[in-house]
Chains A and B, each alone.
Chain A
């Protein structure tokens, strides 16, 4: 079962990166990358790092790729899809919503019935990770917070339009 899961995720991951290389459209590139990062999140979970798996999906596939998609949408304003393709997007989105609903319902059902730890038993808990982060790696952690603030302020200052020009 684990073997099958590994090869499934690995093939999807490498395949979507290959598809990203093959396609020209930047928005599709970004979406293929989201798929690859989500699969990597699954692999992280298999490596006994559930916290990193969740962070990978939320930060990478969520936040960072959303930034990319925003910039892509600001840069190339092409025309929308043709009506024929639009019909397909509606069908696919309804299908995806149904899958998501089933997933959330399943998760809620298993959460209410009894809590069972998913995956392998050797997974490290987020508690240990947090303790490690705030004792041994306290200084690097604080330095990264300064880095993030500097990056945020830098990005805003760079993109801000000046009044004079």
Chain B
């Protein structure tokens, strides 16, 4: 069997890559995808913990995280579409004014 620590290391790598992607990318959609990567890294860590401890609760929590991520994606993409309609751009450097 593969030790759980391998999965934790992979989860750590994915989380850090998500953070890097979030800060390197300059458009809202890709930054949003970076957030999804971080959520998935957390899911992987939860499932590895659930496997090593034997509790079923980890899978339930992952289920909830996925539901919340789906809701978040729907709302976030709607907001991005609104921003695109108003500013004609989703680059972060074009979004400088607070007022719509």
Cα-based distance from A64 to B21 in the complex (angstroms): 19
Q: Are A43 and B44 in contact (CB under 8 A)?
A: yes
Cα-based distance from A155 to B24 in the complex (angstroms): 28
Q: Are B56 and A74 in contact (CB under 8 A)?
A: no
Q: In angstroms, how far is the closest chain A Cβ from the Cβ of B22?
A: 10
Q: CB-CB < 8 A to A137: which residues of B?
A: 60, 64
Q: Are B70 and A52 in contact (CB under 8 A)?
A: no
Q: Are B78 and A158 in contact (CB under 8 A)?
A: yes
Q: How many residues does chain A have at the interface if contact means C-beta atoms less than 8 Å apart?
A: 57
Q: A47-B48, A144-B64 are in contact. Are A10 and B10 (CB under 8 A)?
A: yes
Q: A43-B44, A59-B66 are in contact. Are A152 and B33 (CB under 8 A)?
A: no
Q: CB-CB < 8 A to A129: which residues of B?
A: 56, 59-60, 63
- Secondary structure of the A contact surface, majority rule: helix
Q: Which residue of B lies closest to A132 (CB)?
A: B56
Of A15-23, A83-91, A103-111, the stretch lying at the interface with chain B is A15-23
Q: Are A144 and B56 in contact (CB under 8 A)?
A: no
Q: Are A68 and B77 in contact (CB under 8 A)?
A: yes
Q: Are A21 and B17 in contact (CB under 8 A)?
A: yes
Q: Are A26 and B30 in contact (CB under 8 A)?
A: yes
Cα-based distance from A152 to B81 in the complex (angstroms): 15
Cα-based distance from A144 to B46 in the complex (angstroms): 19
Give 1 or 0 for each of B13-37: 1 = CB within 8 Å of chain A CB: 1100110110011010110110011
Residue B95 interfacial (CB < 8 Å): no
Q: Are B7 and A21 in contact (CB under 8 A)?
A: no
Residue B98 interfacial (CB < 8 Å): no
Residue from B2, B21, B59, B63 within 8 A of A21 (CB atoms): B21
Q: Which of A54-86 contact B (CB under 8 A)?
A: 55-56, 59-60, 63-64, 67-68, 71-72, 74-75
Q: A21-B24, A144-B67, A158-B79 are in contact. Are A44 and B2 (CB under 8 A)?
A: no
Q: List 20 A-B contacts (CB under 8 A).
A: A13-B10, A13-B14, A14-B10, A18-B17, A20-B21, A21-B25, A29-B30, A37-B40, A40-B40, A44-B47, A49-B50, A56-B43, A64-B69, A67-B77, A71-B81, A74-B81, A75-B90, A144-B64, A148-B70, A155-B74
